[in-house]
């Protein structure tokens, strides 16, 4: 895969406050990247630095050039926080205006259909609901037919239906080979879509990898199954089992390492049924990571 | 060119066609003032009245220019910046060059339209005589005279709060109009105020318009005065922009 974004020792400060601290990251072509972190962790600042809106220290290469360079501006679409609710402008006028800025834009009519805005095309932006306006902003980000998209909290204010349409469009972008970087507080959505996760904590990139890799780092797993065997057979089966409970025929094992516990269960496979494995959710891992940081 | 025309169409729709209040304050209000002062509140001999009808027309053209530049440009640029539109354009291949060109051109065009409307009102309702050369000279002065105002409007657009901008705009527009003799003759004001008024950009533009309309020789000092204000305006924009960026990076 081609490296489409690379940063080395990327730093940025607002006055004396260091917001990004030596961020080293790589984004490959065609990846969907989820960027998450607490409020104030530096996510928006990182996006702004990659877009060339902020002058940063360190090396940043984006689409083979500098952030904010002409090639980058032609090939990058962005959906920043806040919407462009311009007075006296309709949805279709806004999209035509945005399309006119690019050499090879998407067809505005088709785009309106895709993002489910066709029936609102002649409405003034100021008369749209927050969720609809967010969809307009998403359409504006797409209209230039970018290869790389930066989406900052894109689903804030969207209802469930709009969110569904939005994530479908992200899947379409993945199928089209586009690269997308999304920041979001909706961790369960990121978890479902992102190929790789980036976690920023207090300006430091503390994790960069797949969800599986993150879960392996935080291996805590709950394994539940049905059996007629006694609980004690499982309690000392593996050192990684921290606790075990029973409820009628059900046994629930809390394990520090799910993979190790599953391996230990193999000899019992003939006598157990209905096995379910519940790994730590991204949200729980994220909460743990932030708690660890606070304690440190 | 296609991009610029698209930008122009987009801005015409939002600034003029769907924004009646802006047209009212920039175009109709100066025209209303002109009719009020030249038809109702006027005394003097025939020659004095004729002279007043011509010079007051010039004053109202300049007044219209101040309104559209200070209230129009400052507010428009600030709103577009606050709502992220300028940031969006900054990230597109052509950045903001067509945007600024379109906005400045439309505001200057609006002032030219105001100048033609006011001249037509003066001819139709007051029977003043203006020849074609005078019309063209007026248009040229309107364009040059508008430049310092446009630059001042641009500087004001960087004020942090909309409320502050509203107050500052009002504090500038009306005193500037009065002190440079657009509403009442400078001669009725105290000497110290006259001295201040005589170095204002609006005074130079207004004086040039009066000279053109009354068929007098154009004073070089008025041109020099306007050029100095244009240079000061450019320096002002550069300083404000630098200060704004510095502030943005430190907060």
**Do residues B148 and B230 touch, judged by C-beta distance below 8 A?**
yes
pLDDT in the model for residue A293 = 61
**What confidence tier does B153 reach under pLDDT thresholds 50, 70, 90?**
very high
Q: What is the pLDDT of residue B251?
A: 64
* A100 contacts in chain B (CB < 8 Å): 2-3, 6-7, 10
User: Distances in Å between the alpha carbon of A182 and those of A36, A50, A205?
Assistant: 8, 13, 15
- Checking if the pLDDT of B60 tops 60, the result is yes
- pLDDT on residue B185: 86
- Read off the pLDDT band of B147 (50, 70, 90): very high
What are the phi and psi torsion angles at A8 (to 5°)?
Answer: -130, 120
Is B20 an 8 Å CB contact of chain A?
Answer: no
With a cut of 60, say whether residue A295 has pLDDT above it: no
Phi-psi sector, A102: left (phi>0), alpha (psi -120 to 50), beta: beta
What does DSSP say about strands A179-183 and A32-37: parallel, antiparallel, or unpaired?
A: parallel
pLDDT digits (tens, 9 = 90+) for A151-205: 999 988 888 888 888 999 999 999 999 999 999 877 788 888 999 999 998 899 9
The structural domains of chain A, with segments of one domain joined by +, span 3-215, 219-279
- How confident is the model over B110-146, as pLDDT tens digits? 999 999 999 999 999 999 999 999 999 999 999 999 9
Confidence of residue A12 (pLDDT cuts 50, 70, 90): very high
The predicted model gives B22-39 an average pLDDT of 88
The complex's ipTM works out to 0.86
SS3 string, chain A, reads CCEEEEEEEEEEEECCEEEEEEEEEEEECCCEEEEEECCCCCHHHHHHHHHCCCCCEEEEEECCECCCCHHHHHHEEEECCCCCCCCCCEHHHHHHHHHCCCCCCCCHHHHHHHCCCHHHCCCEHHHCCHHHHHHHHHHHHHCCCCCEEEEECCCCCCCHHHHHHHHHHHHHHHHCCCEEEEECCCHHHHHHHCCEEEEEECCEEEEEECHHHHHHHCCCEEEEEEECCCCHHHHCCCCCEEEEEEECCEEEEEECCHHHHHHHHHHHHHHEEEEEEEECCHHHHHHHHHHHHHHC
SS3 call for B42: coil
**pLDDT recorded at residue B39:** 82
- Are the CB atoms for A49 and A12 separated by under 8 Å? yes
Residue B121: both structure tokens together: 């009102």
Is the CB of residue B77 less than 8 Å from the CB of residue B154?
yes
Paired strand residues for A255: A221, A241
B2 touches chain A (CB under 8 A): yes
Residues 6+ apart with CB under 8 A from B153: B69, B70, B72, B73, B74, B77, B107
Tell me which chain B residue has its CA closest to the CA of residue A93.
B10
Helices (H), B46-200: 46-66, 74-82, 85-90, 97-126, 132-156, 162-179, 191-197
Q: Report the distance separating Cα A265 and Cα B115, nearest Å.
A: 90
**Residue of B24, B16, B62 lying closest to B177 (CA atoms):** B62
- For the segment A88-113, the average pLDDT, to the nearest whole number, is 95
Calculate how close chain A gets to B56, using CA atoms only, in Å.
34
Give the rounded percent of residues in chain A with a pLDDT score beyond 70. 98
- Given this model, what pLDDT does residue A16 score? 83
- Tell me the shortest Cα–Cα distance from A119 to chain B, in angstroms: 21
- Mean pLDDT value across residues B172-186: 91
A221 pLDDT exceeds 90? no
Which pLDDT band, with edges at 50, 70 and 90, does B190 fall under?
very high
Domain at A3-215: CATH architecture:
3-Layer(aba) Sandwich (3.40)
Per-residue pLDDT, averaged over A6-15, amounts to 91
- pLDDT the model gives residue A292: 67
Q: Is the Cβ pair A53, B94 closer than 8 Å?
A: no
All structural domains of chain B with their residue ranges: 2-250
Q: Residue A163 has what pLDDT?
A: 87
**CA within 13 Å, CB half, B10:** 28
Cβ within 8 Å, pair A82-B84? yes
Q: What is the mean pLDDT of residues A281-296?
A: 71
Tell me, what's the pLDDT at B110? 92
What is the CATH number that goes with domain A219-279?
3.30.70.120
Q: Do B83 and A70 touch (CB under 8 A)?
A: no
Cβ-Cβ contacts under 8 Å between A and B: the total is 77
Q: What is the pLDDT of residues A116-134, one digit of tens each?
A: 899 999 999 999 998 899 9
| B91/A82 CB distance under 8 A | no
Cβ of B10 and A89 within 8 Å?
yes
Place of tokens 């003034």: A124
The DSSP output letter for B187 is G
| Residue A294 pLDDT grade (very low, low, confident, very high; cuts 50, 70, 90) | low
* Inter-chain residue contact B84 with A14, CB threshold 8 Å: no
Q: Which residues are paired to A196 by β-bridges? A: A33
Report the chain B residue with the minimal C-alpha distance to residue A79: B88
A84 contacts in B (CB within 8 Å)?
83-85, 88
With contact defined as beta carbons under 8 Å apart, do A46 and A91 qualify?
no
d(CA A50, CA A58): 12
Reference A138, options A100, A111, A172, A177; nearest CA is A111
- The chain-wide mean pLDDT, for chain A, equals 89
pLDDT for res B27: 86
Task: Give the pLDDT band (50/70/90) at residue A296.
Answer: low
d(CA A194, CA A171): 10
CA–CA separation, A212 and A196 (whole Å): 9
Any B CB within 8 A of A15 CB: yes
What strands lie across the sheet with A204-209, from one edge to the other?
Answer: A76-79, A148-152, A179-183, A32-37, A196-201, A204-209
Q: Does residue A1 surpass a pLDDT of 90?
A: no
pLDDT at B103: 96
Average the pLDDT over each of A244-258, B97-111, B186-200, B211-225 and give the range with the smallest value: A244-258
Q: What's the pLDDT band for B168 if we cut at 50, 70, 90?
A: very high
In this structure, is the dihedral angle defined by the CA atoms of residues B66, B72, B75 and B80, taken in order, positive or negative?
A: negative
Chain B, 186 to 245: residues with Cβ < 8 Å from chain A are: none
In angstroms, what separates the C-alpha of B76 from chain A's closest C-alpha?
Answer: 10
């Amino acid at each position: 895969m081609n490296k489409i974004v690379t940063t080395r020792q990327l730093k940025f400060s607002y006055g004396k406050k260091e917001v990004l601290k030596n961020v080293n990251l790589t984004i490959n072509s065609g990846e969907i990247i989820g960027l998450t972190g607490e409020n104030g962790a530096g996510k928006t600042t990182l996006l702004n630095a990659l877009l060339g809106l902020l002058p940063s220290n360190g090396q940043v290469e984006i689409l083979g050039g500098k952030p904010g360079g002409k090639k980058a501006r032609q090939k990058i679409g962005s959906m920043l926080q806040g919407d462009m609710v311009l007075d006296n402008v309709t949805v279709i006028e806004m999209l035509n205006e945005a399309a006119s800025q690019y050499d090879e834009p998407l067809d505005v009519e088709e785009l309106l259909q895709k993002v489910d805005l066709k029936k609102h095309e002649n409405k003034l932006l100021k008369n749209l609901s927050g969720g609809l306006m967010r969809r307009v902003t998403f359409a504006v980000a797409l209209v230039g037919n970018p290869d790389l998209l930066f989406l900052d909290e894109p689903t804030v204010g969207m209802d469930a239906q709009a969110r569904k349409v939005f994530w479908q469009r992200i899947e379409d972008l993945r199928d089209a080979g586009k690269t997308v970087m999304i920041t979001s507080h909706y961790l369960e959505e990121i978890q479902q879509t992102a190929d790789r996760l980036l976690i920023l904590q207090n300006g430091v990139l503390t994790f960069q990898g797949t969800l599986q890799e993150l879960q392996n780092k935080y291996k805590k797993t709950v394994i539940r199954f049905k059996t007629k065997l006694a609980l004690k057979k499982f309690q000392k089966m593996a050192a990684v089992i921290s606790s075990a409970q029973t409820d009628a025929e059900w046994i629930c094992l809390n394990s520090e390492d799910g993979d190790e516990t599953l391996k230990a269960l193999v000899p019992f496979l003939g006598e157990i049924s209905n096995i379910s494995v519940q790994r730590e959710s991204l949200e729980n891992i994220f909460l743990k990571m932030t708690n660890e940081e606070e304690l440190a | 060119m296609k991009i610029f025309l698209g930008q122009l169409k987009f801005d015409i729709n939002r600034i003029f066609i769907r924004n009646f209040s802006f047209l009212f304050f920039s175009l109709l209000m100066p025209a209303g003032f002109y009719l009020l002062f030249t038809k109702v509140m006027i005394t003097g001999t025939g020659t004095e009245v004729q002279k007043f009808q011509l010079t007051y027309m010039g004053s109202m053209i300049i007044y219209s220019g101040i309104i559209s530049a200070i209230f129009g440009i400052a507010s428009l640029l600030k709103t577009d910046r606050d709502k992220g539109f300028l940031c969006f354009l900054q990230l597109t291949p052509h950045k903001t060059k067509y945007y600024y060109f379109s906005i400045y051109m439309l505001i200057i065009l609006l002032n030219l339209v105001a100048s033609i409307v006011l001249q037509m009102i003066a001819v139709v309702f007051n029977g003043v005589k203006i020849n074609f050369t005078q019309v063209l000279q007026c248009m040229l002065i309107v364009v040059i005279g508008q430049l310092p105002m446009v630059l001042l409007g641009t500087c004001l657009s960087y004020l942090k709060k909309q409320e502050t901008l509203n107050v500052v705009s009002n504090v500038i527009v009306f005193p500037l109009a009065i002190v440079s003799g657009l509403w009442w003759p400078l001669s009725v004001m105290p000497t110290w105020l006259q001295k201040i008024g005589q170095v204002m950009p609006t005074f130079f533009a207004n004086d040039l318009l009066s000279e053109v309309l009354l068929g007098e020789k154009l004073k070089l000092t008025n041109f020099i005065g306007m050029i100095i204000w244009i240079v000061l305006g450019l320096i002002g924009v550069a300083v404000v922009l630098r200060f704004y960026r510095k502030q943005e990076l430190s907060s």
